Amino acid sequence: MEPNLIEIFGSYMSWKINEDTWIINFMGGSQNMYLLEGEDRALLIDTGWGAGNLREYVEKLTDKPVIVFNTHGHLDHSGGNGEWEKVYMLPGGKADIYTCYRLPFDASKLPYPNYECVFVKDGDVFDLGGRSIELIDISSHSNGSLAFLDKKNGFLFVGDELESTQVLMYETEAIPGYDFVLDSKLRAHHANMLKLLQRKGEWTSILPAHNGAPIAHSYLDDFIGLVERIYQGDAIIEDKLNHKYAEAGDPEHRLCRVRWNKASFFVVKEDLLAIWGSNTL
């Protein structure tokens, strides 16, 4: 029997990576949310697709009041926002919530469809009680991407901007007021990864939202190198994406994978060739 949409998008499992940090895993094991507990309250990173009952699940893991954040606003990270009264995000994250109109579920039926968006900024710190979480703006893949630095435990949560398979660097949905320019996005990504690298002594584990966690520190080095290789003109272009969902959504075969060592981006090939070796970083 084929699984239904709730089983695909809303079946959660979880485990602790230390005594006060949960990985909440779903989407057949390919996507993670995180629940960070302090002495006084807990912090939830992302809300998934809005399937099942995430809030009920989270409240079985912790008895502390929960504050909710989006790493960014794409529909697989913010679809369940309406299960809470208030959600924290970067201003650009709210623009990306536009993609939630494509959710396979009716988000208007969640308990708080008109939830309050609370905007945060780079450098803000949230005290959970004996555990402080610093926000770092790493927007590139998304218009409003947050990393979360937990110095006490050495954890760096990076959303979709850094992962073990690929980072999507193309316009998945046109968003009013936000133009996707690959050159600008690549330069921003490179600067953001250098910013994280400069703080390497403050974290020991990189925890992405997709495709495995934690991942090796060398992925950060490889993503920095990938952008540099793109501008040098010797990164590797692969027309085969090896990703059935991305390929299904690209009937014109506009996309390619551009790779260096373990790091890769999905980009529009025409956009990549327009900057290939023609600019310096």
> 16, 58, 18: which is closest to 41 by C-alpha?
58
Q: Which residues on neighbouring strands pair with residue 210, listed in sequence order?
A: 31
Task: Identify residue 124 by its one-letter amino acid code.
Answer: D
Rounded to 5°, angle at Cα 207 from 204 and 210: 160
Check whether 151 has a pLDDT greater than 80. Answer: yes
Check whether 54 has a pLDDT greater than 90. Answer: yes
Cα 253 to Cα 240: distance, rounded to the nearest angstrom: 9
pLDDT digits (tens, 9 = 90+) for 114-133: 999 999 999 999 999 999 99
pLDDT digits (tens, 9 = 90+) for 180-210: 899 999 999 999 999 999 999 999 999 999 9
Is residue 107 very low, low, confident or very high in pLDDT (cuts 50, 70, 90)?
A: confident
Check whether 1 has a pLDDT greater than 60. Answer: no
Residue with tokens 């400069």: 198
3-state secondary structure of 118: strand
Check whether 35 has a pLDDT greater than 90. Answer: yes
- Segment 246-257 shows an average pLDDT of 88
- Segment 220-230 shows an average pLDDT of 97
State if pTM tops 0.85: yes
* Residue 111 preceded by cis peptide, ω within 30: no
Is residue 2 very low, low, confident or very high in pLDDT (cuts 50, 70, 90)?
A: low
CB 103 within 8 A of CB 177: no
Positive or negative CA dihedral for 187, 99, 28, 80? positive
